Amino acid sequence: MDLKTIKSFHLILKYGSFNRAAEELKYAQSTVTMQIQKLESDLGVQLLERGKKIRLTEAGRLFYEQSLQILKNVEQLQTDLADLQVGAAGSVRLGVTEPTASYRLPEILKSFFSSFPRIKIAVDIANTPTLSERLQRGELDLALCSAPEQGGDLYFEPLLNEEFAVLLPENHPLADKEVLALHDLQNQRLLITSATCPYRRKLELLLHETGSRPADTMEIGSMTALKYYVKSDLGIALVPKIVLDPAPAGTTARTLSGSPIEMTFGILCKTSAHPMNRATAQLYQFLMQNL
């Protein structure tokens, strides 16, 4: 029993004729007749009553009902495999850092799904070092993050520069200045991200180089959460400008002179020695165009 025979059987019932079924399949009628005869022989039952009108036997009705779902499943499988081959279906494991995870990616994925509704995407939010490790271990297919410190067998495609601003409570003494410098952060409580965050390491390096030392620091594990801690008057923070549209009530943003704090942001993936599947390649190109 094969799929061609099952399809012949269903077409015979659809048209009520061996000849019409053969024409549809572009077979000789004798071929269709032999298919059904062999099918009945293999199953050990009669499926069709031949005569002026073709009728199903009881066994034929059972076979028809059961084989109908088989045909539907096979047709769906063939469609899925074809879509997978051309990149219209599949799955992608995407890693992403904040603030892009919250402020850029949702609308981009909404647009992507309108073009590729059969591609499934799992989003994993973490910092750049963690995403780099997961890519290396094969747990992710792509990552949107800052440039990694060590590439290994990873390739980084820069896309944009993440710009930062100083966020302060609106009643803070430094709010009177339109533009701030790093030395203005001297003796202030500075809200910073976790120790593994590339942005924090860059900020600490710049503060060290300029001799600017905050009076105190408070570690906040999420970059997107920083603004809410500033709102509660727990300190000041350098935050990505994208999260300040709008800034929380009771806070105000100031430019840092020379814009020394900005991070290169882009797509991180395995090198060409590890080819992408078609679905991942579709998402890669879409992100390149929309970021």
One fold for both 3-86 and 89-159+265-290? no
Q: Is the pLDDT of residue 158 over 80?
A: yes
pLDDT over 70 (residue 83): no
Whole-number Å distance between alpha carbons of 219 and 48: 77
pLDDT above 70 covers what percent of the chain?
A: 94
For the segment 103-136, what is each residue's pLDDT rounded down to a tens digit?
Answer: 999 999 999 999 999 899 999 999 999 999 999 9
Task: Tell me how far the alpha carbon of residue 40 is from its chain's centroid.
Answer: 49
pLDDT of residue 102: 94
Superfamily of domain 162-260: Periplasmic binding protein-like II (3.40.190.10)
Q: Is 22 helix (H, G, I), strand (E, B) or coil?
A: helix
The mean pLDDT of 9-30, rounded to a whole number, is 88
pLDDT at res. 1: 66
pLDDT at residue 15 is higher than 70:
yes
Could you read off the pLDDT of 31-81 as tens digits, one per residue?
988 988 988 888 889 988 887 788 889 988 998 888 888 888 877 776 666
Task: List the CATH code of the domain at 89-159+265-290.
Answer: 3.40.190.10
pLDDT digits (tens, 9 = 90+) for 173-228: 999 999 998 888 888 999 999 888 888 888 888 888 878 888 789 999 888 899 99
Question: Torsion angle, CA of 50/53/54/55, rounded to 10 degrees?
Answer: -100
The b/e string for 108-141 (b: 16+ C-beta within 10 A; e otherwise) is bbeebeeebeebebeeebbbbbbbbebbeeeebb
The domain segmentation of the chain, as residue ranges, is 3-86, 89-159+265-290, 162-260
Question: How far is C-alpha 18 from the chain's CA centre?
Answer: 49
- CATH architecture of the region 3-86: Orthogonal Bundle (1.10)
Q: Using CB atoms within 10 Å of the CB of residue 150, give its burial: 0 to 12 exposed, 13 to 18 middle, 19+ buried.
A: exposed
Rounded distance between C-alpha atoms, residue 19 and residue 17, angstroms: 5
What's the pLDDT band for 24 if we cut at 50, 70, 90?
A: confident
